[in-house]
Amino acid sequence: MLSNIEPLARAVAERVCRQGEAKNPSNPPMTAKDIAAWVDTHWECAAAELEAGVLTDEGNPVPGSNWELGLAAYRERVSSRQQ
C-alpha cells in the first residue's frame, strides 16, 4: 500500500537521479531499469526530506535549509518502520 507521499517522493527521487546524470555526462547513461532501482532505493530519503521541508517538489534543496534536518527526518522515518 502506498503512503500519501510515496508517489511524489518517487517522482522527486527520479528527478534527482536524472539531474545527477545530466550533471555528470562522463558517466555511462543509466537504463530505465537502473533508474527504477535507484528510485526504489532512494524514495524514502526524498519522502523524509519533503516532509521535513528541506527539499522542493522539484528535488532541489530549500534555500537556507539545514541538511541535518533532512538526515534526522530520514533516520526517524527508517527507525519508525523498523519498530
With a cut of 70, say whether residue 32 has pLDDT above it: yes
In a domain, 67, yes or no: yes
Q: Which amino acid is located at 29 in the chain?
A: P
Give 2's pLDDT tier (boundaries 50, 70, 90): low
Nearest 10 degrees: CA dihedral of 56, 61, 64, 70? 90
Question: Could you list the residue range(s) of the whole structural domain that residue 63 is in?
Answer: 6-82
The residue whose grid cell reads 528535488 is 59
- Helix or strand (DSSP H, E) at 76: helix 67-82
What total of structural domains would you count in the chain? 1
Q: What is the mean pLDDT of residues 27-54?
A: 93
Q: Which amino acid is located at 82 in the chain?
A: Q
DSSP string, 40-54: HHHHHHHHHHHHHT-
In a domain, 1, yes or no: no
pLDDT number for residue 22: 81
Q: What is the pLDDT of residues 49-76, one digit of tens each?
A: 999 999 999 989 999 988 899 999 999 9
